[in-house]
């Protein structure tokens, strides 16, 4: 399986890019190679595809279902009653819809936390992108539930679903206020034994921080550190309510950060300290969160909002520079999950997209990265390639009409069940 | 000139929409009318088009030219040197590029402040959209310059360029710190005599507010009120550094507000008090500002950022509700400039767009307005109609390739002149 992209812009030069067996094999001027597929790069730039490091993909089914509410009303009266009705079929279809939107907006990887992970894995496998999938672990301090989840996790990870190597399974304790200490310690040890990544929501709201202080006598980050939970395989989402000392702890433990700016703003959760994390040298990726708190999965839009949010957080227009933001949304995401992608270089995994340099929002092009971060949205992506395979070309994804049709029908059936 | 849109979604019903001579003539089920053009509304929703109440359109030429800098470096070393080189031809081509982007993202009106207004008017006229165009009035407290601008304005408004009635000319004093008191008073009287709208940047930065207190002994809003400048024909852009008493003054004077959330965030200018303005009953429109401080003209994206910004400003997810934001971006913009549009109703001016309900970001559609505000970007717009004329259909604008090509060439020539 090979692809030759002819005469495409890469760092202001026009080159040919030859992809073989999922990696960039050769990049250079006028390559003299044959390929199974040859596509034109005329008026296109090639860039790494996007890595969405925190979402709940199947929540596309809840896009616009409930907005503009206080957290309690939103969750109790709307989101949870809807989610309680979701079957594996619903989740499969919701995840396919999410994957479609991601492919259309240039994203080829997402980190997911939800239920019915087999259905998620199947959807991802079929759609051709990558994912790190975790089943939400929520025991609500109930030891019986804890045991149940531990048994389920053992069974699952000892014999995981047989799917493409593009899919990895990781652990997903929901948060410190929904998972008991005993369970967190079990997860810590199990993940260590199995070499698993762990993603968890941490320090998202002021309430979480205050409750933690009341109940545990310390902050969420320090609580996790005290029980030895934090290490280089941990991906912490949100991480808003932290001080300098805690950022230092996170840095020392080499923890990875999933920054979800839109969700943080939409739910009025607080201000992510972008500068402090970056300056301290922590690896920060960018995520869209789920469609109930965003309400899309467009990483190009998310980059802009991340940049704007960073400037506000520090009260300076020099924060959240476009190059830094772009790296967070591409290479950093790959690095966090140990994928050798995120750059257009020989030997790297061939996850990439082509950008339409004639799209009105890309003209003029004084600075490609600035245009991508500040001016463009997902529709500037014309071609999406994951693992050396074309998933979208000329903005068309095979079978997209069917996915849209099925998703619409499925949502109707969920509403009928409510 | 008539258009019949067959079987289109309007407020959850499927109707036919008949447009004649620029207005919605008849809306209803299965209309029995003939029309010059018949288009299908299948899987489309019809909504009012967007009104961008504050921008500097020709600054699309500077998209991505300079970002992530402190205001002083940005203006002095980058923006102003570039702008000093701009000829009427540059501005004409930059404005055409801007109009193209607006049409592609569903905007049919913009309020502009720039130089070479004849060139702007010609571009708008040709592109078929509406605009309120002002020439930036900047005398830097120099009485000679003041006289020059007054003479120029008199000549201009006594015999304005002959263009379509879609174009209105308004006044554009830049700001209180770039225009002398004598000039502001002259503008106040001239605008009164001529019945002109006036747009001005007000209370954008903390520095403006502090300098004003130092120099004038009062705040920007009170200074303008003291000289009798404020009335229902005034559109104030930014309006960040104001307190409750000043918002009360603005309300009493029936002043109109142009909220530009992205620009305010990108330049770290401060926090617009969205809730306070809305609750007080002021008419707030939404603008993108120019492409040097945004860097696009997509009102759908701007709505999302406005909603998120409002939630942060009040620290509550219930602020910046999608219905309010949508009204600001459509009907309020029309109202501010006295255009009887912004709603899909019989008798109203036919400025509208069709939305692709099969676009991944519009699926599912629990709530059309929420999807438009939070999930969609400009590429969900398939058809743009202004003044009863189709400017884009199936995402194609006549002559778009030529505009892109010319704009690219022109930017190269400007860079050569620098």
What pTM was computed for the model? 0.98
At A65-74, the pLDDT tens digits run 999 998 889 9
At B34-74, the pLDDT tens digits run 999 999 999 999 999 999 999 999 999 999 999 999 888 99
Residue that the structure tokens 């020439």 belong to:
B135
At A2-20, the pLDDT tens digits run 999 999 999 989 999 999 9
Query: Residue A228 above 90 pLDDT?
Result: yes
At B79-115, the pLDDT tens digits run 999 999 999 999 999 999 999 999 999 999 999 999 9
Structure confidence at residue A71 (pLDDT): 85
Best A58, A61, A62, A63 residue to mutate vs chain B (most B CBs within 10 Å): A63
At B186-228, the pLDDT tens digits run 999 999 999 999 999 999 999 999 999 999 999 999 999 999 9
Backbone φ and ψ for B4, nearest 5 degrees, come out as -115, 120
> Which residue of chain B is at minimal alpha-carbon distance from A261?
B308
Structure confidence at residue B377 (pLDDT): 98
Structure confidence at residue B12 (pLDDT): 87
Q: Which two tokens stand for residue A76?
A: 């109790």
Which band of pLDDT confidence, cut at 50, 70 and 90, is reported for residue B273? very high
Size of interface A-B (CB pairs under 8 A): 193
Residues carrying CATH 2.30.40.10, chain A? 2-48+342-400
Residue B170, strand partner residues: B134
Residue A273 and residue A242 in contact, taking contact as beta carbons nearer than 8 Å: yes
Backbone φ and ψ for A5, nearest 5 degrees, come out as -100, 115
Residue A52 and residue A111 in contact, taking contact as beta carbons nearer than 8 Å: yes
Say if B99 is an interface residue toward chain A (CB within 8 Å). no
Mean pLDDT of B234-251: 98
Best B58, B272, B363, B370 residue to mutate vs chain A (most A CBs within 10 Å): B363
Alpha-carbon distances of B390 from B42, B129, B396, rounded to whole Å: 17, 10, 10
Q: Which two tokens stand for residue A84?
A: 């309680």
Structure confidence at residue B89 (pLDDT): 98
Structure confidence at residue B169 (pLDDT): 98
Residues carrying CATH 3.20.20.140, chain B? 50-336
Nearest CA to B373 out of B28, B47, B23 is that of: B47
Alpha-carbon distances of B189 from B148, B223, B225, rounded to whole Å: 17, 16, 14
Alpha-carbon distances of A378 from A190, A371, B286, rounded to whole Å: 38, 12, 23
H/E run at residue A386:
strand A381-386
Mean pLDDT, chain A, whole residue set? 97
Fold of A2-48+342-400: Urease, subunit C; domain 1 (2.30.40)
Rounded Cα distance between B182 and B179, Å, is: 8
Residues 34-73 of A with CB under 8 A from B: 60-65, 67-71
> Which residue of chain A is at minimal alpha-carbon distance from B380?
A379
Which band of pLDDT confidence, cut at 50, 70 and 90, is reported for residue A321? very high
Which band of pLDDT confidence, cut at 50, 70 and 90, is reported for residue A215? very high
Structure confidence at residue A354 (pLDDT): 98
Nearest CA to B303 out of B231, B245, B377 is that of: B377
The hierarchical CATH code for the domain A50-336 is: 3.20.20.140
Judge: A363–B70 Cβ closer than 8 Å, yes or no.
no
Mean pLDDT of A368-394: 98
Structure confidence at residue A380 (pLDDT): 98
Q: Which CATH number fits domain B2-48+347-400: 3.30.1540.10, 2.40.50.140, 2.30.40.10, 3.40.1160.10?
A: 2.30.40.10
Q: To the nearest whole angstrom, how far is the Cα of A191 from the nearest Cα of chain B?
A: 35
Say if A386 is an interface residue toward chain B (CB within 8 Å). no
Helix, strand, coil distribution of chain A in percent, nearest 5: 45, 25, 35
In 3-state terms, what secondary structure has residue B151? Answer: helix
In 3-state terms, what secondary structure has residue A48? Answer: strand
Render the burial of A112-131: b for 16+ CB within 10 Å, e for the rest. bbbbbbbbbbbbbbebbbbb
Residues carrying CATH 2.30.40.10, chain B? 2-48+347-400
Say if B302 is an interface residue toward chain A (CB within 8 Å). no
Structure confidence at residue A162 (pLDDT): 95
Say if A315 is an interface residue toward chain B (CB within 8 Å). yes
Which band of pLDDT confidence, cut at 50, 70 and 90, is reported for residue A25? very high
Mean pLDDT of B309-316: 97
Structure confidence at residue B225 (pLDDT): 98
Say if B321 is an interface residue toward chain A (CB within 8 Å). yes
Nearest CA to B294 out of A253, A376, A139 is that of: A376
Q: Which two tokens stand for residue B388?
A: 């009863």
């Amino acid at each position: 399986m090979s692809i030759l992209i002819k005469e495409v812009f890469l760092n202001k030069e026009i080159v040919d890019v030859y992809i073989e067996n999922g990696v960039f094999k050769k990049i250079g001027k006028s390559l003299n190679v044959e390929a199974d597929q040859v596509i034109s790069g005329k008026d296109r730039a090639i860039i790494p595809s996007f890595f969405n490091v925190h979402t709940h993909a199947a929540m596309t089914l809840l896009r616009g279902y409930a907005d503009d509410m206080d957290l309690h009303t939103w969750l109790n009266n709307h989101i949870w009653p809807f989610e309680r009705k979701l079957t594996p079929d619903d989740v499969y279809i919701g995840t396919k819809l999410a994957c479609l939107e991601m492919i259309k907006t240039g994203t080829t990887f997402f980190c997911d936390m939800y239920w019915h992970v087999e259905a998620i894995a199947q959807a991802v496998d079929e759609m051709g992108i990558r994912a790190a999938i975790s089943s939400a672990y929520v025991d609500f301090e109930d030891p019986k539930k804890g045991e149940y989840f531990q048994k389920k996790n053992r069974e699952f990870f000892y014999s995981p679903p047989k799917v493409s190597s593009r899919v990895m399974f990781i652990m997903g304790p929901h948060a410190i206020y929904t998972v008991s200490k005993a369970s967190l310690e079990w997860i810590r040890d199990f993940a260590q034994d199995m070499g698993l990544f762990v993603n968890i929501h941490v320090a998202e709201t002021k309430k979480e921080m205050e409750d933690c202080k009341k109940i545990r006598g310390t902050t969420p980050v320090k609580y996790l550190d005290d029980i030895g939970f934090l290490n280089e395989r941990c991906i912490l989402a949100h991480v808003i309510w932290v001080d300098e000392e805690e950022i230092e702890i996170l840095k020392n433990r080499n923890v990875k950060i999933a920054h979800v700016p839109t969700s943080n703003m939409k739910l009025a959760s607080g201000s992510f300290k972008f500068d402090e994390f970056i300056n301290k040298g922590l690896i920060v990726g960018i995520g869209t969160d789920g469609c109930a708190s965003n309400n899309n999965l467009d990483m190009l839009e998310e980059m802009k909002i991340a940049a704007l949010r960073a400037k506000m957080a520090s009260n300076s227009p020099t924060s959240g520079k476009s190059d830094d933001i772009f790296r967070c949304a591409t290479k950093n995401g790959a690095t966090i999950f140990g994928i050798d992608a995120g750059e257009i270089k020989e030997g790297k995994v061939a996850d990439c997209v082509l950008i339409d340099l004639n799209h009105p929002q890309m003209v003029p092009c004084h600075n490609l990265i600035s245009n991508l971060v500040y001016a463009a949205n997902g529709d500037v992506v014309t071609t999406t390639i994951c693992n050396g395979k074309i998933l979208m070309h000329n903005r068309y994804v095979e079978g997209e009409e069917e996915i849209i049709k099925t998703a619409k029908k499925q949502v109707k059936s969920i509403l009928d069940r409510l």
